[in-house]
């Protein structure tokens, strides 16, 4: 079946996407809404969250810095409000930071710790906070990984280490909750035309890489697959452009 003929209907599904102010997240939210899902967008502050909600047609918005330990509880409260206690079908842990590029022998430990806090600890906190809602719907969690979560590449520093940790969290979540119906996935989006890619490559022109809308459409197909045939892929480490 080709991508074009595949029916992707997420009607009745509730999905949270973090980091919807720009980049990949700003494309993911409207793509999911377009497939019929109800979406709760997240952004760093109230104004950005309201704007992301308005632009994407999302159902609700949650604001907060990833570093805020109370963000998960607010997200869970919004999930329970919007779903009337029914739970959550999908959590897309998209928001993240690149941090400083540079060799290991020039590491700034304060910055290293900060990237790990945002890209690992904060992701785990959001997962744990919403896990009961995900379990009650046999939902999918997408841990946003990267090619550099799977192999070495010079100068990627804390970012590379944090994405390796994300791959580990996916495996751990699958090992602990897969049998209870959670579909946990580590997903690399490929090289997508965003500010983060510009910073990583050190160039302004990234037009030869994947448009956010193309990656977002592939994520919609992957979420649909996870919610309909989750057992086939649960626990896997995937490249979204394969979908």
Ligand X SMILES: NC(=O)c1ccc[n+]([C@@H]2O[C@H](COP(=O)([O-])OP(=O)(O)OC[C@H]3O[C@@H](n4cnc5c(N)ncnc54)[C@H](OP(=O)(O)O)[C@@H]3O)[C@@H](O)[C@H]2O)c1
Options 127, 159, 177, 243, the catalytic residue: 159
Residue with tokens 């993240």: 96
Pairwise CA distance, residues 243 & 205, whole Å: 26
Nearest to 145 by CA among 44, 14, 240, 40: 240
Of 16, 90, 21, 72, the residue nearest 50 (C-alpha): 21
Q: How far is the CB of 206 from ligand X (least distance, A)?
A: 8
Exposed / middle / buried, residue 134 (Cβ in 10 Å: 0-12, 13-18, 19+): buried
Q: Look up residue 232 and give its two tokens.
A: 């086939």
**Number of other residues whose CB lies within 10 A of the CB of residue 159:** 25
Please give the Cα distance from 225 to 202 (Å, whole number). 35
CA quadruple 123, 218, 199, 166: dihedral sign: positive
Query: Which residues partner with 140 through β-bridges?
Result: 90, 183
Q: Which is nearer to ligand X, 100 or 137 (CB)?
A: 100
At residue 17, the 3 state secondary structure works out as strand
Output the smallest distance, CB 1 to ligand X, in A.
27
For 166, the enclosing helix (H) or strand (E) is helix 157-177
Judged by beta carbon, residue 87 or residue 160, the one nearer ligand X is 160
Known active-site residue 159: yes
| Cβ distance to ligand X smaller for residue 83 or 194 | 194
Residue nearest to ligand X (CB): 23
Q: Minimum distance from CB of 145 to ligand X (Å)?
A: 7
Closer to ligand X by CB, 40 or 188: give it: 188
Spatial distance between the Cα atoms of 115 and 65, rounded to a whole number of angstroms? 13
| Cβ pair 129, 73 in contact under 8 A | yes
What's the min distance (Å) between Cβ of 191 and ligand X?
A: 4
Residues near ligand X (CB under 6 A) = 19, 21-25, 44, 48, 65-67, 94-97, 118, 144, 146, 188-189, 191-192, 194-197
Give the residue with the Cβ less far from ligand X, 191 or 236.
Answer: 191
The residues annotated with a catalytic role in the active site are 159
């Amino acid at each position: 079946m080709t991508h074009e003929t595949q029916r992707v209907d997420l009607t009745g599904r509730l999905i949270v996407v973090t980091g919807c102010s720009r980049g990949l997240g700003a494309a993911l939210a409207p793509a999911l809404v377009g497939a019929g899902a109800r979406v709760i967008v997240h952004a760093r502050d109230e104004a950005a969250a309201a704007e992301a909600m308005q632009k994407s047609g999302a159902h609700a918005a949650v604001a907060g810095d990833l570093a805020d330990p109370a963000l998960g509880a607010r997200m869970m409260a919004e999930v329970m409000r919007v779903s009337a206690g029914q739970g959550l079908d999908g959590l897309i842990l998209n928001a993240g930071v690149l941090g400083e590029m540079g060799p290991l022998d020039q590491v700034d430990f304060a910055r290293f710790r900060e990237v790990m806090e945002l890209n690992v600890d904060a992701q785990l906190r959001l997962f744990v906070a919403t896990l009961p809602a995900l379990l009650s719907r046999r939902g999918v969690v997408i841990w946003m990984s990267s090619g550099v979560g799977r192999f070495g590449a010079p100068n990627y520093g804390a970012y590379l280490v944090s994405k390796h940790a994300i791959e580990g969290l996916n495996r751990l979540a699958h090992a602990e909750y897969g049998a209870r119906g959670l579909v946990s996935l580590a997903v690399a989006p490929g090289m997508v035309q965003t500010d983060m890619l510009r910073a990583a490559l050190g160039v302004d022109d990234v037009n030869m890489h994947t448009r956010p809308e193309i990656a977002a459409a592939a994520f919609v197909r992957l979420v649909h697959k996870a919610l309909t045939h989750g057992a086939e892929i649960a626990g896997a480490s995937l490249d979204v452009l394969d979908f």
